[in-house]
Amino acid sequence: MAIHLEDRWYRRRRPEGDRVRTARHGQAPRYRAHFTDGNGTRQTKAFHDRRNAERWLVKTEVARLLKGTA
């Protein structure tokens, strides 16, 4: 399962690595958490803060792992 957390307000420029504002800067929600499960289905959810997005991803991963062992 691939897990990603995307900041929709900033992007990293290559090769410099500095942050650049996107066209969505200042528009809520800021973060998008998404993953692709074993069946190839993509699950996406948007969040206003990073902490909640990370929590959702962790809860989702734990639930998937527990489901696989039961």
Which of 30, 10, 28 lies closest to 20 in space, CA to CA? 10
User: Which DSSP symbol is given to 31?
Assistant: E
Domain count, the chain: 1
For the chain, 70 residues long, the average pLDDT of each consecutive 10-residue run is: 83 84 90 85 91 92 78
Which residues have a Cβ under 8 Å from the Cβ of 60 and sit 6 or more positions away? 35, 43
DSSP-based three-state secondary structure for 29: coil
Rg from Cα positions in the chain: 14
The verdict on pTM exceeding 0.75 is: no
| pLDDT recorded at residue 56 | 93
Sole residue written with tokens 């809860």: 59
| pLDDT recorded at residue 49 | 93
